[in-house]
A = this chain, B = another copy of it.
Amino acid sequence: MKTIKDSVHDYIEVEGVALSLLDTPPLQRLRHVSQLGTVTLVYPSANHTRFEHSLGVYHLADQALSHLGIEGQQAERVRAAALLHDVGHGPYSHNVEGLIHRHTGKYHDDVHDLIGEGAVARVLTEHGLNPDAVADLIAGDGELGQLVSGELDVDRMDYLVRDAHHTGVPYGTIDHGRLVRELRFRDGELVLAEGNVQTAESLLLARALMTPTVYSHHVARIAKAMLRRASARLLEATDTDPETFRRMDDAELLVALRSTDETAEIGRRLTYRDLYKRAVWAERAAVPAEVLEMEQTAIREREREIAEAAGVDPAAVILDVPPEPSMAESSSRVLVNGTVRRLEEQSTLVRALQAAQRDRWRLGVYAPADVRERVGDAAVRTLDLDIEGARVSDTPRGIHTTLDEFE
């Protein structure tokens, strides 16, 4: 057994298959993939990695299994899946996940190929575990897969607390000790025990507060959009194989961006936090339906049109159209008077939070500070945004702004 000191859970005891997995390159690689990507440009202390998070998820899974009375190979399989659940992340985690998916067809939780061969497969097999079965759990399949990836998974219990610890934003500080204790299985579904409607709500609320403050902070969104754009350019301009790209770590990607002509400028900007600014920041009501539904190619096309209209270089315009917000936790299940209820049926809060989240949706157009105004004007016209007045002023309009101190 090995005991590892963690700044969130204090001591994490690693043994069995997890101990052997610890030294495999796919897991050690996560030391070089940051948990929150560009969020560190807003919260400078948020430099934690997928590696420490993976240890934390393993730890909570182990506790949950023990409270649930699940033992033996079944438990060992879940612990392996918990530790490995993030090996599928590309550089900067979620920041370029969409790009990777377009090129490889894989999201980060599709890891059958990654753990089905090499050191990880070897270790799993030696411990009598089927790599495919572990990959299934990581994808959230099966009853026990809910523990690893689902509405009540230990993944989100760890990341909320860990992100709070490292950003300094307290909202994520959920009571994971209680959550882990109150998990139950009922008819194959992972639920919270009687008396925990509020416990479930607290998880939902924590994420609802962390999302705009941390995960979707507009500065993090700008940097993420820049990173995405530059990464796409890197794949086009060089012979970098998408699979190689997917296996890069943060350092490799940043160095690659800086040393490739076509991406050097954005690489430099990301390195030294010399970011684009918001030229437009528009609420949903101001955005025509067809803009909301655009695919990547259409978006790239529109960016070029805006750039042309504004008389700037195409690289100077980034159009950021986020998807519909989702709230997986809404369908988490709770026992109420002996029957399983979905949280959204039970809690008047859930619908309100969903509405609140939709209210906070914003379309962004980003540009270098010196052409921000021109690009803003051009974007309003090109995208036919419903914003009164012609000039896009310093304060982006059409919004309940979150122009806070971290701009």
Q: Are A170 and B175 in touch, CB under 8 angstroms?
A: yes
Q: Which of B52, B273, B337, B359 contacts A401 (CB 8 A)?
A: B337
* Interface-lining segment among A2-10, A94-102, A135-143, A385-393: A2-10
Q: Are B198 and A32 in touch, CB under 8 angstroms?
A: no
> Which A286-320 residues sit within 8 Å CB-CB of chain B?
none
> Which A200-242 residues sit within 8 Å CB-CB of chain B?
201-202, 205, 209, 212-213
Q: Are B48 and A3 in touch, CB under 8 angstroms?
A: no
Is A251 at the interface (CB under 8 A from chain B)?
A: yes
Q: Are A401 and B194 in touch, CB under 8 angstroms?
A: yes
> Which A259-308 residues sit within 8 Å CB-CB of chain B?
271-274
* Interface-lining segment among A22-30, A82-90, A125-133: A22-30
Q: Are A165 and B7 in touch, CB under 8 angstroms?
A: yes
Greatest chain B CB density within 10 A among A31, A174, A403 is at A31
Which residues of B are found within 8 Å of A29, using beta-carbon distances?
271-272
* Interface-lining segment among A69-77, A105-113, A183-191, A347-355: A347-355
Is A55 at the interface (CB under 8 A from chain B)?
A: yes
Closest to A256 in B: B255
Which residues of B are found within 8 Å of A55, using beta-carbon distances?
44
The verdict on A359 contacting B355 (CB below 8 Å), with A3-B181, A168-B7, A405-B2 known, is no
Which residues of B are found within 8 Å of A403, using beta-carbon distances?
194-195
What is the CA–CA distance of A51 and B202 in the complex, to the nearest angstrom?
29
Which residues of B are found within 8 Å of A168, using beta-carbon distances?
5-8, 10
What is the CA–CA distance of A7 and B195 in the complex, to the nearest angstrom?
22
Is A43 at the interface (CB under 8 A from chain B)?
A: yes
Is A332 at the interface (CB under 8 A from chain B)?
A: no
Q: Are B47 and A47 in touch, CB under 8 angstroms?
A: yes
Q: Which of B2, B46, B198, B271 contacts A212 (CB 8 A)?
A: B198
Could you name 25 residue pairs across A and B whose Cβ atoms are closer than 8 Å?
A: A3-B181, A5-B169, A5-B406, A6-B168, A7-B166, A8-B168, A23-B273, A28-B271, A28-B273, A28-B274, A44-B55, A170-B173, A171-B202, A181-B405, A194-B403, A197-B400, A205-B205, A251-B252, A251-B254, A251-B255, A347-B356, A348-B356, A349-B356, A351-B352, A352-B353
Binding site for B on A (CB under 8 A): 2-8, 10-11, 23, 25, 28-29, 31-32, 40, 43-49, 51-52, 55, 165-171, 173-175, 177-178, 181, 194-198, 201-202, 205, 209, 212-213, 250-252, 254-255, 271-274, 336-337, 346-349, 351-353, 355-356, 359, 400-406
